[in-house]
Homo-oligomer: A and B are copies of this chain.
């Protein structure tokens, strides 16, 4: 069964249920967020992570935020509360673009709604916000599915696929991005095997991707990141599929650190290398990968693990969150709109101009 990262349970008085990803893979447990503060903490502490999943959660968070209203508050106060909830939730993960996008979309539409229906009461506004959050969620589910349908042909019968980090169902409201083609191939009863890079330092591949694949009944094997090249050398990898954090106008792709090395190793061994990501991942304001800023993460992520020191006190650590893969080393980019083979500045622009498939 494909995992589900999040689900709104009930109507406007319901709650947001999340898989607590901090406890995986040792323990499967869900969290119920019944107010905005609970959701804020869930996002901040990575109980839920993955840009699309966070965006959807934040939209539902605005429903929860309306519970701060007191009886007797009017519609002006409701819009004020919505705005405050937007600011509050936006500060849970300050660099998450999807988070801001989802919050602003719901707030903007809610303001329009109130503007157009001057006599709408608070109850109607809350229903409207919930409906908009549901719409964002449904669109995310649909986007994931379409990436899977567009990419499943690259997951061939009898093949071995390598993936890095977690771009699966746990990172979205649907069935993920990089893993979605694998889930679709599995639905067609194709047999294949997936190697999941454990993905240091935070081990999202070992903890989350391997768990998701196992839950779905897909043959999964965990490797350390430094083993991928040796598997390729032995002819054991037929394709690499990863997600993306940001894609420049020319197709250069920022993704979890280690993706760049995989792209070089894949080229060396004549293995196709695919990126699977929603078309919203393209940042057309960025011409090439050289302009993509790379977040540097705290050294302590590398210096210790599970409370145990793994490197000497005070030693320097280099810990970039992402690297950039050259477009020329990407066989194709799979989006919900279709597939961009040999991505470059021309066909990327064309892909984004074309109406969605």
Which A residues are closer than 8 A to B by beta carbons? 24-26, 195, 197-201, 203, 206-207, 210-211, 214, 219-231, 233, 257-258, 260-261, 264-265, 268, 302-303, 305-320, 323
Contacts and interface: CB of A to CB of B under 8 A. Distances in A.
Given A26-B308, A268-B264, A310-B203, A315 B225 contact: no
A298 to B, nearest CB: 13
A265 B261 CA distance: 7
A307 B306 contact: yes
A87 to B, nearest CB: 35
A214 to B, nearest CB: 5
A56 to B, nearest CB: 25
Nearest to A23: B309
A221 B210 CA distance: 30
Contacts of A228: 261
B206 A224 contact: no
A210 B26 CA distance: 31
Nearest to A220: B315
A308 to B, nearest CB: 4
Nearest to A26: B309
B200 A224 contact: yes
Contact of A206 (B220, B258, B311, B318): B311
Nearest to A231: B318
B227 A310 contact: no
A226 B200 contact: yes
Contacts of A310: 25, 198, 203, 206-207
A255 B288 CA distance: 37
Contacts of A199: 226
A257 B227 contact: yes
Given A198-B302, A225-B226, 16 more contacts: A201-B224, A203-B310, A203-B311, A206-B302, A207-B311, A210-B315, A220-B316, A222-B311, A224-B319, A226-B257, A226-B258, A229-B264, A230-B260, A233-B323, A264-B268, A306-B308
A305 B203 CA distance: 11
Which 10 residue pairs of A and B lie closest in terms of their CB atoms, listed nearest first? A226-B258, A229-B261, A306-B308, A200-B224, A225-B226, A25-B312, A230-B323, A221-B316, A206-B311, A26-B309
Contact of A318 (B214, B227, B303): B227
Contacts of A311: 25, 198, 203, 206-207, 210-211, 222
